[in-house]
Amino acid sequence: MTEAEKEEKLKAVKDEVLGLAASPLYAERIKNGVFPVIGEGDHSARIMLIGEAPGKNEAATGRPFCGASGRILDELLGSAGIDRKSVYITNIVKDRPPMNRDPLPNEIAIYAPFLDRQIEIIQPEIIATLGRFSMDYIMRRLGLEQELDSISRIHGKVFSAELAYGRVRVVPLYHPAVAVYDRSKIDDLKKDFESLKSL
C-alpha cells in the first residue's frame, strides 16, 4: 500500500468516526464541543501504541496522549530511544467517556472495528497495548486469549500472532497514567519500554 493510499484509508476512518452518531459517546462529544481522538504518528510505523480512551486534554485537542499521561509516555519513549514521531498512537475508544470512567463493553464494541482497520492500514510489526482494556481486546482479537492473565503478571512480555499482512509481536504494557498517580512505578514502566527497544 502506498503512502497516499494509507492516507486516504485513514482519512476514511477519521470521517466515519466524526459522523458516528450511533455511538453512545457521540452526544457527549457534541454537548461538550470536543473532538474524537483518531490517532497520530507515522502511517508506516513499525510500532503501534494502543491506549484505552481519550481523557479531557485529548478530547479538547483531538490528539492522543497530550496531557499528564502523554508527558509520561514521552519520557518512556525517550528512555527507550524511540522517537514519538516514528510510532503511531491511538486508542480503542475514540471518544472520551464521561468523567474519564473506564470504557464500557458496548463502547469498545462500536469503536473496535475502526482500530482493526487502522492496524490493517498501518501494518505495524509491534503492537504495544497501554492498559488492561486494550491488552484484553488486542490479545483476544489476535487469538492470544490462552496467554491472557492480569496485566501485573504479563506486562513487558512479548507474544507473537499472525495477521493477514504477516507476523506481529504484542507487548502488554501498563498505562502511563499509573506513573502519574504513583511515580514509584516509573522504573517498572521504563523496563517494559526496554522490551520495545530490544524488538
Torsion of CA 145, 149, 153, 156, to 10 degrees: 20
Of 6-20, 37-51, 152-166, 173-187, the least confident: 173-187
User: Average pLDDT in the 119-124 region?
Assistant: 97
69-81 tens-digit pLDDT: 999 999 999 999 9
| Predicted local distance difference test score (pLDDT) of residue 177 | 87
Give the chain's domains with CATH numbers: 3-198 (3.40.470.10)
Residue owning grid cell 503478571: 153
d(CA 63, CA 145): 30
Rg (CA), the chain: 16
| Predicted local distance difference test score (pLDDT) of residue 179 | 83
Distances (CA, A) of 149 to 156, 157, 163: 12, 11, 22
What would the grid cell of residue 99 be? Answer: 468523567
Has residue 59 got a pLDDT over 90?
A: yes
Has residue 88 got a pLDDT over 90?
A: yes
State the burial class of residue 5 (Cβ atoms within 10 Å of its Cβ: 0-12, 13-18, 19+). exposed
Residue owning grid cell 483531538: 62
| Predicted local distance difference test score (pLDDT) of residue 187 | 87
What would the grid cell of residue 71 be? Answer: 508527558
- Let me know: does 83 contact 76? Beta carbons within 8 Å: no
- Let me know: does 96 contact 54? Beta carbons within 8 Å: yes
